[in-house]
Amino acid sequence: MNQLYYFRKLPQKYTPYVFAFFMAGIMAFLMSMVIVAANSGLHTGYLVRVLHAYSHSVAC
């Protein structure tokens, strides 16, 4: 087998935890996008404000 394309798979018993971790991160980012858009609109600097709000939400 070619060494470049060899990856180890995640054990089956950890997949619910990994899925929950990534889903929580995605949902926090989507909620940051919606809340920033509702509070300050879709003006210049929207993405910067979203990333700033997201950094505060995942810091805890």
- Asked if residue 51 belongs to a domain, the reply is yes
Range of the domain at 45: 35-60
The pLDDT of residue 24: 93
Whether residue 54 lies inside any domain: the answer is yes
Residue 59: band (very low, low, confident or very high) from pLDDT cuts 50, 70, 90: confident
pLDDT of residue 4: 65
pLDDT reported for residue 3: 63
Q: What is the pLDDT of residues 3-44, one digit of tens each?
A: 666 777 888 899 999 999 999 999 999 999 999 999 999 999
Angle at 36 between CA 39 and CA 45, to 5 degrees: 110
Task: Write down the pLDDT at residue 9.
Answer: 84
Is residue 21 assigned to a domain? no
Please check whether residue 7 lies inside any domain of the structure: no
Task: Please give the model's pTM, rounded to 2 decimal places.
Answer: 0.76
How many structural domains are present in the chain? Answer: 1
